[in-house]
Structure formats: structure tokens, C-alpha cells
């Protein structure tokens, strides 16, 4: 069933902060069979995206400490789209709060740069939604 508000909407990723980045990546790749799609950063700034098996991803951020974050370990839900601007506008019109307006960036991945247009809103319960458009 097509989404009439977000063009070509599809699940993209859920993001997790990991106190032990290496063990967390090992668990999801070795124990659960997820495959590395891309990674970037160094040390406490490392991030990777793992394909869960259908193209949807599990994104893991090195947290850098054992202290829990105030908004929890899962911290955003991403929706793939071909028009991040329209998705952002629809969310705001529906009552979401602006977190970060649509912007272009390049994620400098070890597997090659990934140009994207992304936007963030806070949903009605304070949850963060990301609209993710690969350019």
C-alpha cells in the first residue's frame, strides 16, 4: 500500500547508542547475521549501518561512555523517501515540531561518500523521526 504523504516511503533505519561499540557490532553481525553496509568515524565517533536482511538498517553509534542518554538508547527512527522536504512539511503540518529542517550533507563513509538530504522532526510523543533521502 503506497504512502500518499511521503513519496516512495520505506523503512530505512533505527539508531542505537552502544556503550561497547565493538561488542554490539559483533553481536548484530555474528550472532544475528546482519551485514555491514557502511561505516564512518573513528574512536568514540564511530557509526555503522547494518542491513537487517531486507535493505532496512540498524544504525549503531559508539556512545563513548556507560552513562545512559536522557532520551534512551534508541534515539531515532528513519524513513527512506525520495523527497525529504515534502515529508518534513507533511510532518510539521500534522503537528510535529521542527528539530532540523531539510539539509544536504555527505556522510564520509569508509566504503565511499554517501550524499544525502535529511530532515528531523519531533513527533507528538517527543520521538525523533528522520526523513532520509539518498541523492
- Taking only the tens place, the pLDDT of each residue in 12-53 is 999 888 878 898 899 889 877 889 999 999 999 999 999 988
To which H or E segment does residue 26 belong? helix 21-26
Residue 76's pLDDT is 83
**Which residues are CB-contacts of 132 (< 8 A; sequence separation ≥ 6)?**
12, 13, 78, 79, 80, 81, 84, 116, 118
Find where cell 556522510 sits: 107
> What does the alpha-carbon distance between residue 79 and residue 104 come to, in Å, rounded to a whole number?
16
C-beta separation of 60 from 25 below 8 A? yes
Dihedral of CA atoms 6, 119, 81, 92 in degrees, nearest 10, equals 0
Residue 111's pLDDT is 94
Mean pLDDT of all residues in 66-80: 72
Query: CA neighbours within 13 Å on the CB side: how many for 127?
Result: 12
The more confident residue out of 65 and 51 is 51
> What does the alpha-carbon distance between residue 88 and residue 6 come to, in Å, rounded to a whole number?
9
Q: Is the pLDDT of residue 72 over 90?
A: no
Amino acid at each position: 500500500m503506497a504512502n500518499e504523504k511521503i513519496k516512495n516511503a520505506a523503512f530505512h533505519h533505527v539508531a542505537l547508542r552502544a556503550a561497547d561499540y565493538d561488542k554490539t557490532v559483533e553481536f548484530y553481525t555474528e550472532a544475528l547475521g546482519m551485514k555491514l553496509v557502511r561505516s564512518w568515524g573513528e574512536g568514540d565517533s564511530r557509526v555503522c549501518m547494518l542491513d537487517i536482511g531486507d535493505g532496512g538498517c540498524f544504525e549503531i553509534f559508539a556512545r563513548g561512555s556507560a552513562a545512559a542518554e536522557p532520551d534512551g538508547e534508541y534515539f531515532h527512527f528513519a524513513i527512506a523517501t525520495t523527497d525529504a522536504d515534502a515529508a518534513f512539511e507533511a510532518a510539521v503540518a500534522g503537528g510535529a515540531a521542527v528539530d532540523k529542517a531539510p539539509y544536504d550533507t555527505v556522510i564520509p563513509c569508509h566504503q565511499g561518500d554517501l550524499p544525502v538530504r535529511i530532515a528531523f522532526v519531533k513527533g507528538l510523543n517527543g520521538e525523533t523521526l528522520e526523513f532520509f533521502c539518498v541523492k
